[in-house]
Amino acid sequence: MICENCKQRPAHVKMTVTQNGEPFTRHLCEVCASQLHPFQNQQDPLTVHQLLTNLFTPEQPTKQANREKSQWSCPTCGWTYERFVHRGKFGCADCYTTFGNALPPVMKRLHNGNAEHIGQVPEAFEETRDLKRRIEDIRSRMQEAIAQEEFETAATLRDQARELEAKLLKGGD
C-alpha cells in the first residue's frame, strides 16, 4: 500500500486519528506519520527511516561496502539489510548482530551520541556485570601497582583477577 499523504513511499504506519470527533484509519509512510504532530515546522524530526536511508546511502558509497551490506541477511528472521533500512526496525534480536557493523552511527544519531547501554540489566546478567566491574577495578589497581614498582602487590592482584575471570567463564557457560 502506498502512503495516502505523499502517494510516494510505502505506507508502513497505520494511524487511528480523530478529526472532528470522527475516528478513522490513515495509512501513512513513516515520514508523513511523523509530521502529524504539532511542532513539525520547528523541530523537523528525523524519522528512523529517513535517518537510516541517509546514513546508509553516503554520497560516495564504496561499491565493495555496499555489495557486502546487500548480502547481509538475518539467519533467524530472514530480514535482509535492505528491508531493515527500509522499515527502520528490527525483525528479531539477532538482527542486532547481523546488521551490527552498521548500528553504531545509527544509535549515536538517535540517542544524542550514545551507543552503549548503561541502565538496568536482567537478573541473569547482573552477576556477570558485577564480576566484570570487579575485574576491571582490580586490573586498574594492578597497573597502578606496576607503575609504583610494587610488584608483589601487582602479582597478588593479577591472581585475584585471574580467579574472577575463571569464575566469569564458568558463569557464562
Partner 1 sequence: MDMDRFLKNQVTSWMESTGEYADIVMSTRIRLARNLDGYRFPLAFTEDEAHRIEQTVTGILLDADKLPQQFTSYQMKQLDPLDKQVLIEKHLISPSLIEAEYESAAVISEDESLSIMINEEDHLRIQCILPGLQLEEAYRQARNIDRVLDREVSYAFDEKYGYLTTCPTNTGTGLRASVMMHLPALTATKQMAKIAPIINRLGMVVRGIYGEGSEALGNVYQVSNQVTLGKAEVEILQELQGLTKQLIEKEREARQALLSHSRIILEDKLFRSLGTLRYARMLSTEEAASCLSDVRLAIDLGIITHVSKTILNECMVFMQPGFLQQYAGSSLSPKDRDVFRAKMIRERLTIEEKGENSYDV
Interface residue list for Zn ion (CB under 5 A): 3, 5-6, 9, 29, 32, 74, 76-77, 91-92, 94-95
Binding mask 119-158 for partner 1 (x = CB under 8 A): xxxxxxx--xx-----------------------------
Binds 6: which of partner 1, Zn ion, none (CB < 5-8 Å by kind): Zn ion
Q: Which is nearer to partner 1, 118 or 169 (CB)?
A: 118
Cell of 86: 527500509
Q: How far is the CB of 37 from partner 1 (least distance, A)?
A: 4
Q: Which residues of 34-72 are buried (b: 16+ CB within 10 A; e: fewer)?
A: beeeeeeeeeeebbbbebbeeebeeeeeeeeeeeebeeb
Contacting residue, 1, 45, 61, 151, with partner 1 by CB under 8 A: 45
DSSP state of 13: E
Q: Choose the binding region for partner 1 from 64-72, 88-96, 138-146, 157-165 (rule: CB under 8 A).
A: 88-96
Q: How far apart are the first and last CA of the chain?
A: 47
Half-sphere exposure of 145 (CA within 13 A, CB side): 15
Helix (H, G, I), strand (E, B) or coil at 52: helix
Q: Is residue 46 a contact residue for partner 1 (CB under 8 A)? A: no
Could you tell me which residues are beta bridge partners of residue 13? 28
> What residues make contact with partner 1 under the rule CB under 8 A?
14-23, 36-39, 42-43, 45, 48, 76-79, 87-93, 96, 103, 106-107, 110-125, 128-129
